[in-house]
Chains A and B, each alone.
Chain A
């Protein structure tokens, strides 16, 4: 009984003393981004689409030229250091035929939600084992990722 009272008191003290974790503002906390976050329960309804906010992508033919231009510019600034346009693996895999191997949703989720993909998606994890280099989060928006996808389609010979 005595032990119990002391335990309760010390617990109460601890609870009263622990400083509240300050709010991060509108952004999610680091833990949320990197750990089990709201998307974590992400529906593995279709594992070939990967994990993230991109659930379905509409592809148009012919290719959207404006997107290609923007996608190429982002590729050159943020991606080209590690991904070549042929099939050669440098730091990351070459992009040739990527749109034939992967669903568009998977590609866009890999670009925009890379940390969760590397932690949970089996296909992304296979690539990590192969390259031994975590793909950096380059803070690409979903709209920009869509533009990059269009550029990849062009790179794979679509018209």
Chain B
């Protein structure tokens, strides 16, 4: 009996300390996760995580992949920024991926991943991402974890409100952050109200191939479009965008775009827009934008400049767009799993409005308008409102949902996550974040079928949470358990770049489809050497094409002569391996670009321009076998105009010079 009493004492102490901990305000790194947190995030060596977490890299322009609950980083997928580590943006095959109407752009700012859905649920096919600066959308394959396609968005002044997808991934939608004069017109900045317009691109997704094409653009009033979500279930066919700067300010937005009590949530009836399009009401306009596609069989990208886009002007075509007043510069605009509730998060507001889709429809049917904006109806706030979450916290930004009818909202200013009930609007729990949370993610949180279990905070500031690394500190995420009534901090983990939005998906939806290697038989690269017998060197004018093969542990050819200063040498390296996890790398001394990493069965090309004579070593950069250090070769570079014959070999020993080796 004594034992039992002791056990209950222990239990009481544990519960007691839990209460004490939960009532604490964040004090700094001294506050730690408690109890069995370690075992909840421990994934034993050789075991797998339960979820993939696709995390935006922000200003690194890439997408990173983490495991949840461990917080381990698996990969950084190059999307909008060059990556010398793999050769992305440096190899001849991948350079076209970063082409734009402005030419080659080596960097961007990726904010929002969006996982493809079918019937509103994650389907594990693709993840999309946005380029915030030079407006583009990328599609990444979840089979190869590679960027397969990038489409540029004309008429967009900054692609923040993007990418957001419809229930069955019919469209990826991208709204402009900055309104700009259309057609790159030269006008005074002060003519904002007259000349500046917004633009919402509807990018069609081919259901089989995933191929992207801009179906149409909505031309909208000139203000800032921030974030968005598609409707689902009953609200499928609608989109909801948060807008700020309805003041139409063009300077010191900090003050001038914060004048009005309410900005708007813009409700878009995209089925109506499709009807107008089918009736031929769209206007075709000349423009220029790049469309880049990577082909898995030729292992090469092509870039095409498109020259036309179809515009639907919402000022001329009624019933596409309605405005719903929303307090103070709304940021997040999130739709709950049922599709009925739309949460607006006014960054500067003291309450959080939750709108009702059925009430919005009734208000439209009854013309329950308070005014209009350039002829577009503005619904009465109360008529569209389900209710307000009172005193939720300071600076609400984003909301995700669990499978039990709860919402989780991030609060930047008060640095916390607040859990509340979507129907009753009652605040249920709050936990501190360290520090200044931006986005947050619940597995399946934006879909019709959330998986729940965790909420992950992506923080803007880490300050004292990690060992310092000079003025520039690591960025971080925090994992909370939401399986019980109270949220519990389990883990801090550092992230690369600056994490904005992220999505998490059960590993079981992605892992079985992962490509292990490319079949050499299916390699259609024009410069592939499919077998060592095809390895060779060919000269075409001043271009020298080296058809090289790589297999553990030699490159063929590994002796090349007859290259001259002024030549352009293309090393087309084919990896002949046909097994999982055996990439080879290729680097040559003095190359002014990067290395290339070649996956099994793949061909990639590094361009090299010798500037001086000499014998230049090259080697495999990916440790591949016991004889990896031997995997190397020499390129002889002769003076321009010399007569050194073109010659190549592997394993050929010519008669040694007398006295060699002495």
Interface residues of A (CB under 8 A from B): 1-2, 5-6, 10, 13-14, 17-27, 30-31, 76-78, 80-82, 90-91, 132-134, 136-140
Contacts and interface: CB of A to CB of B under 8 A. Distances in A.
Contact of B551 (A14, A21, A24, A82): A82
B512 A77 contact: no
Contacts of A5: 3, 7
Contacts of A133: 552-553, 625-627
B488 interface: no
Contacts of B626: 132-133
A143 B625 CA distance: 28
B278 interface: no
Contacts of A21: 47-48
Nearest to A2: B3
Nearest to B69: A19
Contacts of B36: 10, 13, 17
Interface string B522-545: 000000001111100000000000
Interface stretch (B38-46, B93-101, B161-169, B360-368): B38-46
23 contacts: A2-B3, A5-B7, A13-B36, A17-B36, A17-B42, A19-B48, A19-B50, A22-B506, A23-B508, A24-B511, A24-B512, A25-B512, A30-B580, A76-B532, A78-B576, A80-B531, A81-B531, A82-B551, A82-B552, A90-B651, A133-B553, A136-B578, A136-B582
Given A17-B40, A31-B46, A137-B578, A22 B508 contact: yes
B579 A139 contact: yes
Contacts of B498: none
Given A21-B48, A24-B511, A139-B517, A80 B40 contact: no
Given A14-B39, A18-B42, A133-B625, 19 more contacts: A5-B7, A10-B36, A17-B40, A19-B47, A22-B508, A24-B511, A24-B512, A26-B512, A76-B531, A76-B534, A81-B551, A90-B651, A91-B551, A91-B552, A133-B552, A133-B553, A136-B579, A139-B519, A139-B578
Contact of A20 (B3, B50, B521, B582): B50
Contacts of A30: 580
Nearest to B624: A136
B556 interface: yes
B386 to A, nearest CB: 36
A27 B532 CA distance: 30
Contacts of B506: 22
B554 interface: yes
A81 B578 contact: no
B587 to A, nearest CB: 20
A24 B510 CA distance: 10
Contacts of A77: 520-521, 530-531, 576
A22 B7 contact: no
Interface residues of B, number: 47
Nearest to A84: B651
A72 to B, nearest CB: 10
A91 B39 contact: no
Contacts of B50: 19-20, 22
B251 interface: no
A109 to B, nearest CB: 17
B305 interface: no
Contact of B552 (A10, A27, A136): A136
A43 B531 CA distance: 35
A30 B530 CA distance: 27
B369 to A, nearest CB: 51
A137 B579 contact: yes
Contact of A78 (B44, B578, B627): B578
Contacts of A31: 46
A72 B156 CA distance: 56
Given A13-B36, A77-B576, A19 B49 contact: yes
A91 B508 CA distance: 39
Contacts of A19: 43, 47-50, 69
A32 to B, nearest CB: 12
Contacts of A22: 48, 50, 506-508, 511
B91 interface: no
Given A19-B43, A136-B582, A139-B517, A91 B507 contact: no
A27 B517 CA distance: 14
B191 interface: no
A81 B554 contact: yes
Given A5-B7, A78-B531, A81-B554, A18 B511 contact: no
Contacts of B44: 18
Contacts of B292: none
Given A5-B3, A136-B578, A80 B48 contact: no
Contacts of B46: 31
Nearest to B529: A77
B109 interface: no
Nearest to A134: B625
Most buried by B among A10, A21, A133: A21
Interface string B497-515: 0000000001110011100
Contacts of B39: 13-14, 17-18
Interface in B417-471: none
Interface in B8-65: 10, 36, 39-40, 42-44, 46-50
Most buried by B among A6, A13, A21, A81: A81
A134 B582 CA distance: 12
Given A13-B39, A22-B508, A77-B531, A1 B579 contact: no
Contacts of A80: 531-533
Contacts of B47: 18-19, 21
Nearest to A115: B579
A137 B578 CA distance: 7
Contacts of A1: 3
B552 A138 contact: no
A93 to B, nearest CB: 15
A31 B48 CA distance: 12
A13 B36 CA distance: 8
